[in-house]
Chains A and B, each alone.
Chain A
């Protein structure tokens, strides 16, 4: 793999990422495909999101209340759990789950369509494969990941509630009042803006990986792996940058 090839790939990725969301500006609109993708990404991921969020919330609450108990500050459990779930852990962990489930799915589906000449057929029919295949996926990922994140956050907080009340023996009323206190615009905004961007990144990376598949089953393995690995790297790197920017924009002192 030489430098020129890598730069061309990067260029291809940028073009795809720019073209995909702009596909909604002009006819034809592929409503049916978009709704189908939303169903697959949203409803399909719901169970795993609920499960993962519940356990993340419980584990986090256990760790924090154990540490705070030794300091005698157990009453702050709700606040710390809430802030870390809403602002950081919820969006990132669910984006990683999403990349694993949906990103790999997108890459392998588009990859096998590439290998089976289905994409060529679309091009021969005069259909723009980016509009028909990529745009619905990108749009649904941008819309569905934030929704899943909100649901996941709520379930994580419930998990935290269970641990703090039944394991750590704190007051449930106090836990919720702390959560209510941190439900400010700044906290929610910085937690909910992230999944929009993660969804966009995951879908663009995975679709690009899928559409650049060549070389049979081996090529498919390569592109599916690339989709998940690059999505995860991008999620974590962009999360750091987003956090930095958001804290600056919202005027919070570090």
Chain B
């Protein structure tokens, strides 16, 4: 369970990114964090991982306050998560196989054959087995994103996966594909399943995967609810966001008729 208590953070002395944010989320939840660009969404993920420290407030991961921990003590709490960054953040000196198994190499003594098998299994699940020997720069954006997801799921057995703009910058078809993948990978019943937090500004993608939605504005949470509440929100700005959703649905409705 992740719990934020009155977390505030500012960059460059006075640019407030998050302001008194409090919320709770279970590891098995499917949460989407929405908001305009520069609204502090990515910072929120970095705070969960302890990559940055808040200026004030507390962050509890399984009841442990991670804002007080040192870099080496943070390891255990970080390993409950894995993250998929916006650009994929693949290790560009390693090929796809080594990227996917980088966590195995670190923590296990599997033989080369076993590692190879695991890599193939995973890439097969992601539908990119043929790319196993390619280098990251030879892959398309969508494939890079898939490899990054594969790496996030391999090895360290995360309790929760964090997706930072996993679908942005991709064409609708590939984005839809990735959404399907995210959804499939979070299968199972709570509390056993691996949940996720997806940070995005694309509402249409968020509703495809998530069950709970949080909307951030000016560093504060202005909305926290499920899909029905999101549709019927009275917040003017959020309605602009969800407007995209209504349009998409209208088109599909008309086609359906």
Residue numbers of A with Cβ under 8 A of B are 28, 116-118, 120-121, 123-128
Give the complex CA separation of A241 and B168 in angstroms: 55
Count A/B pairs, Cβ under 8 Å: 48
Find the residue from B46, B83, B89, B90 having the highest chain A CB count within 10 A: B89
Interchain CB contact under 8 A, A120 and B91: no
Can you report 27 A-B residue pairs in the complex whose CB atoms are below 8 A from each other? A28-B106, A116-B87, A117-B89, A118-B89, A118-B91, A118-B92, A120-B85, A120-B89, A121-B89, A121-B91, A121-B151, A123-B49, A123-B51, A123-B78, A124-B49, A124-B51, A124-B83, A125-B79, A125-B82, A125-B102, A125-B103, A125-B156, A126-B76, A126-B156, A127-B106, A128-B71, A128-B72
Q: Nearest chain-B residue to A28 (Cβ)? A: B106
Residues B92 and A116 in contact, CB atoms below 8 Å apart: yes
Q: For B24, list chain A residues within 8 Å (CB).
A: none
Q: B85: nearest residue on chain A (CB-CB)? A: A117
Question: What distance in Å separates the Cβ of B44 from its nearest Cβ neighbour in chain A?
Answer: 14
Judged by a CB distance under 8 angstroms, whether B75 is at the interface is yes
In the complex where A116-B92, A117-B87 touch, is A124 in contact with B82 (Cβ < 8 A)? yes
Mark B89-111 against chain A: 1 for CB-CB distance below 8 A, else 0.
Answer: 11110000000001100110000
B15 CB, min distance to chain A CBs, angstroms = 14
Cβ of A126 and Cβ of B78 under 8 Å apart? yes
Q: What's the least CB distance linking B251 to chain A, in Å?
A: 35
| In the complex, residue of chain B having the shortest beta-carbon distance to the beta carbon of A33 | B93
Residue B4 interfacial (CB < 8 Å): no
Contacts of B27 in A (CB 8 A): none
B71 CB to nearest chain A CB (Å): 8
Report B-chain residues with C-beta under 8 Å of the C-beta of A118.
Answer: 89-92
Residue B81 interfacial (CB < 8 Å): yes
When C-beta atoms are compared, the residue in chain A nearest to B75 turns out to be A126
Residues on the B chain within 8 Å of A128, using CB: 71-72
Query: A124 touching B106 by the CB < 8 A rule?
Result: no
User: What distance in Å separates the Cβ of B158 from its nearest Cβ neighbour in chain A?
Assistant: 9
Instruction: Given A120-B49, A120-B85, A123-B49, output 14 extra A-B contacts at Cβ < 8 Å.
Output: A28-B106, A116-B87, A117-B85, A117-B87, A120-B46, A120-B51, A120-B89, A124-B49, A124-B51, A124-B79, A124-B81, A126-B78, A126-B79, A128-B71
Q: Contact residue range for chain B?
A: 20 to 34
How long is the Cα–Cα vector from A116 to B92 in the complex, in angstroms? 10
Neighbouring B residues of A28 by C-beta, 8 Å? 106
Q: Would B106 and A125 count as touching, CB distance under 8 A?
A: yes
Chain B positions 27 through 67: 1 when the CB is less than 8 Å from some CB of chain A, otherwise 0? 00000000000000000001001010000000000000000
Residues of the A chain whose Cβ atoms lie less than 8 Å from the Cβ of B87: 116-117
How long is the Cα–Cα vector from A162 to B9 in the complex, in angstroms?
67
Which of B76, B78, B92 is within 8 Å of A124, CB to CB?
A: B78
B156 to chain A, nearest CB (A): 6
Q: Are B89 and A116 in contact (CB under 8 A)?
A: yes
Instruction: Give the shortest distance, in Å, between B228 (CB) and chain A (any CB).
Output: 34
Question: Which residue of chain A has the shortest Cβ distance to B72 in the bound complex?
Answer: A128
**A121 and B156 within 8 A (CB):** no
B residues within 8 A CB of A126?
A: 75-76, 78-79, 106-107, 156
Q: Which residues of B contact A123 (CB under 8 A)?
A: 49, 51, 78
User: Which 7 residue pairs across A and B have the least CB separation, nearest first?
Assistant: A117-B89, A126-B75, A117-B85, A126-B79, A121-B89, A125-B103, A124-B78
User: Which A residue's beta carbon lies closest to that of B77?
Assistant: A126
- A120 cross-chain contacts in B, Cβ below 8 A: 46, 49, 51, 83, 85, 89
Residue on B with the closest CB to A109? B93
B residues near A127, Cβ cutoff 8 Å: 106
A136 to B78, CA, bound (A): 24
User: Which among A28, A123, A124 has the highest number of chain B CB atoms within 10 Å?
Assistant: A124
B118 to chain A, nearest CB (A): 16
The answer on a CB contact under 8 Å between A121 and B75 is no
* Least distance between B52 CB and chain A CB atoms (Å): 10
* A121 touching B83 in the complex, CB below 8 Å, given contacts A116-B92, A126-B106: yes
- For B90, list chain A residues within 8 Å (CB): 118
